[in-house]
């Protein structure tokens, strides 16, 4: 069964809107979740590591004020794209690692389209 | 910075043909995962290899982990249209603790 639930699967909104994406870990308490961005026909690009109860760790070049991450519980991390613009349009995917040296399990992704 | 070079980037073959995808790095990984992703969905884990020299088989798919744990390959025998998708290798451990280092991906198209 699914390990990770990501919602919504698709968002279309106007430029300037803030969009929140949820990532839930099912049947597992995740102290760490990961957020990725993916462009068409390309690999995944890690944006940030979401840490339960503390600040997220952002990768170089990712604006933390643009992509707000909140990991308030052991089963939920949220990514908010603030004041989204067309260049933020992409496929955003979260993942959960179920233990040290265990593989990551991915959500089904969120297709974000900014008009 | 750890890099995982994946090749080829694109592969277009006929049903029934065999193929191999490679992932190479100068870094040592504690494990390496292979994922398959279909359009509009998240990657799905196919296999994890942990031990140097390890070989794992999943029906028509054979995965190898290099002896030095720096490289891996995925071989598909008698490819079918249902194998079409984006294949991703990802290394865990090494200097990027807790994170995965992804290859560039291989887009496989199997024509009937």
pLDDT in tens, B6-22: 999 999 999 999 999 99
Three-state SS at A56: coil
Report pLDDT digits (tens) over B35-51: 999 999 999 999 999 99
Q: Is B90 on the interface with A (CB under 8 A)?
A: yes
Can you give the pLDDT at residue B96?
59
Can you give the pLDDT at residue A4?
93
Average pLDDT over residues A51-66: 92
Per-residue H/E/C for chain B: CCCCEEECCEEEEECCCCEEEEEECCCCCCEEEEEEECCCCCCEEEEEECCCCCEEEECCEEEEECCCCCEEEEEECCCCHHHCEEEEEEEECCCCCCCEEECCCEEEEEEC
Query: Which of A103, A104, A107, A112 best probes binding to B when mutated, by most B CB atoms within 10 angstroms?
Result: A103
- From the CA of B109, how many Å to the nearest CA of chain A? 12
Q: Is the confidence at residue A8, as pLDDT, over 90?
A: yes
Q: Is the confidence at residue B87, as pLDDT, over 80?
A: yes
Query: What is the bridge-based pairing of β-strands B31-37 and B85-92?
Result: antiparallel
Cis before A6? omega within 30: no
Can you give the pLDDT at residue A2?
66
Q: Is the confidence at residue B1, as pLDDT, over 70?
A: no
Report pLDDT digits (tens) over A63-107: 999 999 999 888 999 999 999 999 999 999 999 987 777 788 999
User: What confidence category does residue A1 fall into, taking pLDDT thresholds of 50, 70 and 90?
Assistant: low
* Residue A48 tokens, joined: 């940030």
* Residue A9 tokens, joined: 């699967």
CA atoms within 13 A on the CB side of A13: 18
**Greatest pairwise CA separation for chain B in angstroms:** 43
Query: Which of A43, A54, A91, A108 best probes binding to B when mutated, by most B CB atoms within 10 angstroms?
Result: A43
Average pLDDT over residues B75-84: 97
Q: Is A74 on the interface with B (CB under 8 A)?
A: no
Three-state SS at A74: coil
Can you give the pLDDT at residue A72?
82
A49: which chain B residues are within 8 Å (Cβ-Cβ)?
Answer: 98-99
B103: which chain A residues are within 8 Å (Cβ-Cβ)?
Answer: 43
- Phi/psi for B82 (5° steps) reads -70, -10
Q: Per mean pLDDT, which range of A23-32, A73-82, B49-58, B90-99 is the poorest? A: B90-99
């Amino acid at each position: 069964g699914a390990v990770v639930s990501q919602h919504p699967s698709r968002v279309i909104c106007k430029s300037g809107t803030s969009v929140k994406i949820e990532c839930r870990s099912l049947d597992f308490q995740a102290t760490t979740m990961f957020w990725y961005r993916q462009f068409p026909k390309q690999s995944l690009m890690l944006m940030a590591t979401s840490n339960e109860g503390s600040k997220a760790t952002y990768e170089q070049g990712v604006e933390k004020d643009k992509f707000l991450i909140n990991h308030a519980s052991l089963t939920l991390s949220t990514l908010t794209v603030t004041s989204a613009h067309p260049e933020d349009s992409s496929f955003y995917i979260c993942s959960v690692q179920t233990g040290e040296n265990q593989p990551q399990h991915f959500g089904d992704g969120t297709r974000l389209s900014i008009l | 910075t750890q890099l995982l070079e994946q090749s080829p980037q694109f592969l277009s073959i006929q049903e029934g043909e065999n193929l191999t995808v490679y992932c190479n790095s100068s870094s040592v990984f504690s494990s390496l995962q292979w994922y398959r992703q279909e359009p509009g969905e998240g990657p799905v884990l196919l296999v994890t290899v942990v031990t140097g020299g390890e070989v794992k088989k999943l029906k028509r798919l054979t995965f190898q982990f290099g002896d030095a744990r720096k490289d891996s390959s995925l071989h598909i025998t008698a490819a079918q249209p249902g194998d079409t998708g984006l294949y991703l290798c990802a290394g865990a451990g090494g200097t990027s603790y807790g994170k995965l280092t992804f290859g560039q991906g291989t887009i496989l198209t199997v024509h009937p």
